[in-house]
Amino acid sequence: MDDKDRLGDKLRDKGRAAEELFIAEYERKRLERLKPAATSAAGSGACPKDGSKLTVHQEKGVTIDVCPTCHGIWLDKGTMAIAVRNENEAAVVHWVRSFFGR
């Protein structure tokens, strides 16, 4: 009777391991499909919204990317924190609005 229980445990363990391998492989493939879409816009100089070439503007040590088509502005991680640290919030708002001609 003891041998059957051990065999049953081993079969359940094998089933769990196969399921975990299947899920891990599925997630790996899903991430591979998502990765090209994320990397194609990021760092390529293309607008994530419409694919137009971004123009780079730099002022007071802060760099932003502006889309000439949709007028979107794209900031790298931490850029807004740097701008706020260098200036007060009103100056940052004025600076951002200057890119839109307002």
End-to-end Cα distance, the chain: 83
CA distance 47 to 97: 19
The answer to whether the beta carbons of residues 73 and 99 sit under 8 Å apart is yes
Can you give the pLDDT of all 102 residues of the chain as single tens digits?
455 677 788 888 999 999 999 999 999 988 888 776 544 444 568 888 888 898 888 877 778 888 888 888 888 777 777 777 777 777 777 777 776 665
Residue bearing tokens 């802060």: 62
What angle in degrees, to the nearest 10, is found between the helix axes of 89-98 and 79-86? 120
pLDDT of residue 42: 47
Asked if residue 91 lies in contact with residue 62, where contact means CB atoms within 8 angstroms, the answer is no
